[in-house]
Structure 1
Amino acid sequence: MKHSLSTIIWNLLVNVIAKSILTHQKIRYILYRIAGMRTKSPNIRSGCTFRGKSIFIEKGVFLNHNVFIDAWERVTIKENTAIGFDVLICTSSHKIGDTHKRSGESKRKSIVIGKGCWIGARATILSGVTIGDGCVIAAGAVVNKDCKPNGLYAGVPAKRIKDLD
């Protein structure tokens, strides 16, 4: 796979230097902005990995350690959302192929996480999902369908288990 110089520099700034536990949070935010990431929040902890550049992080968002965001399609995280450690946000998948290769043609869809959400540790948010404002996604949940606002979702696959006021 051939990478352009700009992609190499972007990855060096974002996924090596800024990702490091040795990089102060304020410096990390500056590096993200220099690299062209569209983030309005400096609250991103070490260990976070960003693949693809279609990331839009609004003010007041908190990303805990080791969040992985696959942003080959647009990922929007709206204001005041908190994302726990080791969360996976994945815009890409594959169609099911034939018997010779089950991981068929690549398919990608954007993801939107609404305002004021809380995504628990090690949750997985899959391609094409919109999580409504005010939702809580339980730790370890796998979200493969849209979540209506103000609900607690848990399980594999995630289901609405409680309405939240």
Structure 2
Amino acid sequence: MIKRLKASLSLITWNLLVNLVGKSILVTNKQRYSLYRIAGMRTASSNIRSGCTFRGKSIFIERGVFLNHNVFIDAWESVTIKENTSIAFDVLICTSSHRIGTLQKRAGESKRKPIIIGKGCWIGARAIILPGVNIGDGCVIAAGAVVIEDCKPNTLYAGVPAKEIKQL
């Protein structure tokens, strides 16, 4: 019971630092980076804008990564964003979903899968990256795309669901 309470308090403290104070437009990128590090977030990038939300602690952000305003990362499984990747505003990165359930409850059993975004990628505004996706190095994901399966390196993807448009 005590161990569970400590874990809950730890998660509450983490959420207060990361998702309340860290989201503020009054906090500079450098201050935000320090808050994230104090909270135990594994980031090597200080280029994270205000309004970003991080659910879960399994987030690995390498150096040179840029997260624009209001990126939402659901990291109940690991999310790795490799170096020099740029992620535009309002992008959703989601490691959890549900299986289709019964007639009585369609949102069935929870399922979770990790996400990896390769080096030097560019994820456009309001794109959605769904559970289990690996995005290859150098990919461009167009604004508004919904990525439901792995993306080959150095390729442009667009659409709902995202489809290969061309090699880069």
TM range (shorter): over 0.9
Aligned pair partner of 1:67 in 67, 71, 84:
71
Equivalent residue runs for 1:66-145 within 5 Å? 66-145=70-149
Write the distance in 1 (CA, Å) between the matches of 2:10 and 2:58: 15
Query: What value does the CA root-mean-square deviation take over the aligned residues?
Result: 0.9
Segments of 4+ moved more than 2 angstroms: none
Write the distance in 2 (CA, Å) between the matches of 1:12 and 1:144: 31
Where does residue 12 of structure 1 map in the other structure? Answer: 16
1:24 to partner: Cα distance: 1.0
- Helix, strand or coil at the partner of 2:161: coil
Where does residue 22 of structure 1 map in the other structure? Answer: 26
Aligned pair partner of 2:165 in 139, 156, 161:
161
Write the distance in 2 (CA, Å) between the matches of 1:152 and 1:24: 33
Q: Deviations over 1:116-147 (max 9, x none)?
A: 00000000000000000000000000000000
Confirm whether residue 55 of structure 1 aligns to residue 83 of structure 2. Answer: no
Write the distance in 2 (CA, Å) between the matches of 1:5 and 1:145: 36
Write the distance in 2 (CA, Å) between the matches of 1:119 and 1:154: 10
Where does residue 42 of structure 1 map in the other structure? Answer: 46
Q: Gapped runs of 5+ residues in structure 2? A: none
Q: Deviations over 1:44-80 (max 9, x none)?
A: 0000000000000000000000000000000000000
TM-score (norm 2): 0.96
TM-score (norm 1): 0.98
Write the distance in 2 (CA, Å) between the matches of 1:112 and 1:24: 27
Write the distance in 1 (CA, Å) between the matches of 2:59 and 2:148: 20
Letter in 1 for 2:83: E
Q: Gapped runs of 5+ residues in structure 1? A: none
Aligned residues: 163
Percent sequence identity is 80
Letter in 2 for 1:115: K
